[in-house]
Amino acid sequence: MTTLQSSSPIYSLIGTRSQILITVNDVADIVYYGSRLSNTDDNALQQMVIGLERPIPFGRLDSDIPISINPQLGRGNFGSPALEGFRNSGLDWSPVFIVTNVTQEDHRLVIESHDQQVQLNWQTDIKLDSNDILQISQTLMNHGNNDYHVTRYANTVPIADNANEILSFYGRWIKEFQQHRSMLNHGGYIQENRRGRTSHEHYPALIVGDHGFGEDHGQVWGAHLAWSGNHRIRVDVKADGRRVLQAEALYLPGEITLQPQQSLTTPTLYMSYSQHGLSAMSQQFHQHIRTSILKDRLHKPRPIHLNTWEGIYFDHNPEYISAMATEAAAMGVERFIIDDGWFCGRNDDTSSLGDWFIDKMKYPNGLTPIIEHVHQLGMEFGLWFEPEMINKDSDLYRQYPEWLLAVDGYEQPTGRHQYTIDLQNPAAFEYIFERLDHFLSHYAIDYIKWDMNREIVQPAHNNRSAGCKQVAQYYALLHKLNTKHPNVEIESCAAGGGRIDYEVLKHTHRFWCSDNNDPLERQAIQRGMSYFYPPEVMGTHIGSHTSHTTHRTHSMNFRGNTALFGHMGLELDPVKASNDEKQVFRYYIQLYKKWRSLLHTGKNYRLSFNDNTALQGNMVVSSSQSQALISINQLTMPTYCLSGRLYIPGLHSNKNYRITIIDQPENLNKIVNRQPPWLASQQLFNGEWLQTVGLTLPIMDPESSLLLQFKAL
Ligand code: GLA
């Protein structure tokens, strides 16, 4: 059995700030994943390996068992194994793999292992890029003469044993990305998502760190599984105190069978390590998204949207919609999107999904006149689809009832009165593609809002389980559409934020974070999301003054500044807005246009305050550190009558900054005898001073926001 030996080959993956050391004996083991080391010559690494040899206590197996990248039952790993499977009659269920080959190319290591007896090959692909993002995936290949059934196949990353706190995410419709902290001393944490889409409830990610980690301090390891289906993520504290993180797609019974020479690859696990807390961890994720996932796909400034949904719902009248477009353009909107309700028979949410033909009753002249009108006004045009879905009350279902994703002979509960289409059915797949392609080929459509409003029950193709294949076919559909229409942008929406993950972002350009446009709720939702995503992919709309989901009323100041830290838009009826309201919308639209290039390229920080539950702050700094934009959001009543200090990270310690108020609550100076004088002083402040000594915070009413510019002189 394997033990660490002084002669163990050791491989090093080096990022800009982080480093991973992997020893290879019979198995490969991550023995270090932390900050970048300065001395990593061969000699130093060998010394380190000797220093890491573990004692062997009484009362356990007689040899040391590494957790390894591929923990195996047959090797005496008593935790969750990375692979579970078998051949017919229950054979070959406990393979023991031996590393046969390791290849390294700069930032990437490929480790191959083999079990001669069961004729399986296991390849681990592990990369650490210059943005300090670790990507790891596994591929299993069946070299045997008969089928191998896989029930589980996971990515496993051993992490440091001081990782004793977890930040995980929970949520629901209209309340996505809520944060939960828990301790990780014994046992562990596990989350499972069986809802068939990425889900509002179990965002596939978590962050572990040392005790009390925060925005600007502590060691943190952020982990995200890029997968839009069912998943399991766990972090275990072994009985000996070692920690291990594992993330996998969940396979339904009988779903994965590898025929001879077939292979299976796991979704990719993305990780970001920082020794300086959460903001630095997020900046690495953000940079990775910008440079490696989006690449140059967001080549133009993120246009300001107007989406019709909360303005008119299903009440479509082309003249009225044209008037909405006219008003939108006059306020400075750059992309106009017609939401649900435009296609055959769709008057409410009980029917017609699947019938992707223009409703001639509502649009007797078709969509072309509106699209031309929108384009003449200088805006892009977008259209809503929910391609994977079908209502039983639809012509499509009446013609092809067998296209339902279901197990024959059973009823299943509907979600929003609808069902899912089996994307593995080639005719169904082609029909959906043809319909989307038709619209994109015959109409000047620049943007699709791609929705998915129900969870999946009974994902079956020909009655066999097909949860993962349904997800893979969804990616294939997106891929086919992107290939044919590379200039069309796509938003991923699933009843708000039900399908937000890195894999879907490879095929799309923006996420609809939530159906909740109440800025107070949005502050929490967007903050949770910001751990993993930069503002330019977060769809953030200003809704009407009274929120349609919470029925709370908010000032324009709070609504505007909350939507500003994302890809901004409006979600309302501009025809009904008063002149005063339109003027204010115009003002926030201009503000967004002025600041979007900084917001969408700069480094983002989440600010920390002493009164952290009442106050929340966002900041973005330019790469040259010459300019920053900060929003200070008072969420609830301040705990104390003074709000403490504002400490500003990320500025240049040798530069002096002039502070200007960009936007403020209307009553800022009316609710106190005096606000801090620096606010109005035009005084210069030194970057180091701002970070370490800070500024006194103003006193603000709940649900209001202050926007400040810091400009270096
Ligand atoms: C979902 C979306 C909304 C809207 C409706 C239309 O709920 O999240 O934004 O598009 O569907 O039915």
Q: pLDDT digits over 618-642, tens only?
A: 999 999 999 999 999 999 999 999 9
What is the spatial distance between Cα 648 and Cα 449, in angstroms, rounded to a whole number? 37
DSSP one-letter string for 548-593: TTT--B--HHHHHHHHHSSEEEEES-TTTS-HHHHHHHHHHHHHHH
Q: Is the shortest distance between the CB of 29 and ligand 1 below 6 Å?
A: no
**pLDDT of amino acid 40:** 82
State how far the Cα of 246 lies from the Cα of 232, in Å rounded to an integer: 8
247 three-state secondary structure? strand
Q: Which residues contact 61 (CB under 8 A, 6 or more apart)?
A: 1, 76
198 CB burial (10 A radius; 0-12, 13-18, 19+): buried
* Cβ-contact 151, 281 below 8 angstroms: no
Instruction: Find the 495 Cα to ligand 1 centroid distance in Å.
Output: 5
Cβ atoms 493, 449 nearer than 8 A: yes
Q: How far is the CA of 182 from the centre of ligand 1 (A)?
A: 33
State both tokens at 189.
């944490």
Q: How far is the CA of 386 from the centre of ligand 1 (A)?
A: 9
Ligand 1 and 382: CB distance under 6 A? no
Q: Is 384 in the pocket of ligand 1 (CB under 6 A)?
A: yes
Question: In this model, does residue 3 exceed pLDDT 50?
Answer: no
Look up residue 28 and give its two tokens: 């490969």
CA of 492 to the centre of ligand 1 (A): 11
Give the whole-number percent of the chain exceeding pLDDT 90. Answer: 96
Nearby residues of 579 by Cβ (< 8 Å), 6 or more positions away: none
Burial 359-377 (b: 16+ CB within 10 A, else e): beebbeeebeebbebbeeb
**Residue 30 scores a pLDDT above 90:** yes
Tell me the pLDDT tens digit for each residue of 193-231.
999 999 999 999 999 999 999 999 999 999 999 999 999
CA dist., res. 549 & res. 174, Å (int): 8
Length of the chain in residues, anyone? 713
| Burial degree of 496 (CB within 10 A; 0-12, 13-18, 19+) | buried
Q: What is the mean pLDDT of residues 501-512?
A: 98
Q: Is the pLDDT of residue 6 over 90?
A: no
Distance 313 CA to ligand 1 centre (A): 9
Q: What angle do CA 492, 495, 499 make, to 5 degrees?
A: 40
- Residue 84 pLDDT more than 80? yes
Closest residue to atom 7 of ligand 1, CA basis:
495
Average pLDDT over every residue of 314-320: 98
Helix H or strand E segment including 211: none
- Biggest alpha carbon distance in the chain? 83
Closest atom of ligand 1 to CA, residue 493: 8
Centre of ligand 1 to C-alpha 154, Å, is 34
The question of whether 359 is a catalytic residue gets the answer no
Q: Is the pLDDT of residue 367 over 90?
A: yes
Statement: residue 5 has pLDDT above 80: no
Contact (Cβ atoms closer than 8 angstroms) between residue 314 and residue 344: no
The token pair at 30 is 């991550």
pLDDT in tens, 684-703: 999 999 999 999 999 999 99
Ligand 1 atom at minimal distance to the Cα of residue 349 = 12
CATH fit for domain 605-712, picks 2.60.40.1180, 3.40.50.300, 1.10.10.10, 3.20.20.80:
2.60.40.1180
The CATH class of 10-293 is: mainly beta
Mutate to test the pocket of ligand 1, among 448, 450, 493 (most ligand atoms within 8 A of CB): 493
DSSP 279: H
**Structure token pair of residue 212:** 């009390």
Residue extents of the structural domains in the chain: 10-293, 305-601, 605-712
pLDDT in tens, 106-150: 899 999 999 999 999 999 999 999 999 999 999 999 999 999 999
Q: Say if residues 487 and 437 touch (Cβ distance below 8 Å).
A: no
How far apart CA 517 and CA 384 sit, in angstroms, is 18
| CA-wise closest residue to 160 among 216, 243, 76, 239 | 243
Q: Is 355 in the pocket of ligand 1 (CB under 6 A)?
A: no
Catalytic residue, candidates 422, 515, 518, 611:
515
C-alpha count within 13 angstroms, C-beta hemisphere, residue 104:
12
Catalytic residue, from 451, 518, 573, 611: name it. Answer: 451
Q: Which residue has the tokens 């750059």?
A: 334
511 within ligand 1 shell (Cβ under 6 A): no
Nearest alpha-carbon partner for 207 in 673, 669, 592, 606 = 606
Annotate 217-253 with b (16+ C-beta within 10 A) or e (fewer). bbbbbbbbbbbbbbbbbbbbbbeeebbbbbbbbbbbe
What pTM was computed for the model? 0.98
- Tokens coding 44: 């130093």
**393-408 residue pLDDT tens:** 999 999 999 999 999 9
Distance CA 325, CA 380 (A): 11
Can you give the C-alpha Rg of the chain in angstroms? Answer: 27
Assess contact for 221 and 207: CB atoms under 8 A.
yes
Mean pLDDT of 179-194: 97
DSSP 539: E
Phi, psi of 598 (to 5 degrees): -70, -45
Integer Cα distance of 475 and 492 in angstroms:
12
Over 80: is that where the pLDDT of 103 sits? yes
Residue 337, pLDDT > 60, answer: yes
Tokens read off for 713? 């002189």
Q: Distance (Å, rounded) from C-alpha 421 to C-alpha 507? A: 20
**Cβ-based burial of 69 (10 A; exposed 0-12, middle 13-18, buried ≥19):** buried
Least Cα distance to 264 among 119, 157, 109, 152 occurs for 152
- Please give the Cα distance from 269 to 165 (Å, whole number): 20
Is the CB of residue 453 below 6 angstroms from any atom belonging to ligand 1?
A: yes
Query: b/e map of 71-106 (b: 16 or more CB within 10 Å)?
Result: bbbebbbebbbbbbbbbeeeebebbbbebeebeeee
Give phi and psi for 706, each to the nearest 5: -120, 130
What is the structure's pLDDT at 206? 98
Residue-wise pLDDT for 644-658, tens only, equals: 999 999 999 999 999
Q: Domain 305-601, what fold?
A: TIM Barrel (3.20.20)
Task: Write phi, then psi, for 483 (nearest 5 degrees).
Answer: -65, -40
- Provide the H-helix boundaries in 120-172: none
Residue 369, pLDDT above cutoff 60: yes
The pLDDT assigned to 49 comes to 87
Confidence band (pLDDT; 50, 70, 90) for 536?
very high
CB atoms within 10 A of CB 693: 11
Phi, psi angles (nearest 5°) of residue 604: -100, 140
* Residue (of 13, 46, 15) closest to 30 by Cα position: 13
More confident residue, 209 or 48: 209
Tokens of 636: 């609830």
| Any ligand 1 atom below 6 A from CB of 515 | yes
Rounded to 10 deg, the angle between the 426-442 and 467-484 helix axes is 30
Task: Provide mean pLDDT across the span 154-178.
Answer: 97
Look up 115 and say whether it is catalytic: no
